[in-house]
Amino acid sequence: MNRLPTRFTVDPPAAYARTAVFALGAQSALALAYLVATDAGLAAPRTLAIPFVWITVAAVGVRHADRPASSRSVLALAGLVGAGYAIVLGWFTGTVGLSSGAAAGLDVVLLPPWWGPMVRFDGAVVSLFLFPYRVVGYAALAYLVSLAVRDVAAYGASAGVGGVIALGSCASCALPVVAAVASAVGGAGVGLGAAPAAAGGTYLIATVAYVLSVAVLTVRPSAAG
């Protein structure tokens, strides 16, 4: 008989704080090394903070999410669902798209830390616009969604309530980003130096929705006993 979800998986606040502090320290060290080694500059504090929030939240979520035991077949299915979800998010936000039809090529743009180094690839079939913080954030969401799928397999459909809520909020977080991405990286021929300048209301709304999505997926209901 499938067990019903009876509690939320919440760690002590100090544990979340330790992970966040460690993640911020590691990001700061890497950002400093990046600035020293390249000609990349800084951005306005609010713009610069957005990637740090995404990556820190991703680290906390992945570190503290409950991991149900699963068979190999369930692990494979959960991985496919998580990867598919990340691709869908990438498609809605312009991170992944169809090729522009221009000459294939690879560019690396030295934007401020964690906005850059931004990798732009235009191939024969697909194009990619990879901001480091977004790659980390989507990878974390993909992993957390895969854990929600494992919950459903282990405890039944009732255990997926938290995952369903989070899936809805994650989808909503993609939509506000579309306008910002369109104005920042609009097409293969658009210069990317001004991308962080687009970190206005749409990016802030998307960041709030992203944080809520990771929180729901991290402390999703699980079965006791």
User: Considering the entire predicted model, what is its pTM?
Assistant: 0.80
The pLDDT tens digits for 121-167 are 888 788 898 999 999 999 998 998 888 888 777 766 555 555 555 45
C-alpha 138, offset from chain centre: 3
Residue 195 pLDDT > 90:
no
**65, 217 contact by CB (below 8 A):** yes
Domain range summary for the chain, segments of one domain joined by +: 7-222
How many other C-beta atoms lie within 10 A of the C-beta of residue 203?
Answer: 20
Structure confidence at residue 187 (pLDDT): 39
- The closest of 114, 112, 216, 123 to 173, measured between CA atoms, is 216
- The closest of 116, 155, 107 to 135, measured between CA atoms, is 116
Q: What is the mean pLDDT of the chain?
A: 77
- Rounded distance between C-alpha atoms, residue 213 and residue 145, angstroms: 10
The pLDDT tens digits for 30-82 are 999 999 999 988 888 888 999 999 999 999 999 999 888 888 999 999 999 89
Quote the tokens at residue 26: 């590691």
Structure confidence at residue 112 (pLDDT): 93
- Provide mean pLDDT across the span 188-203: 48
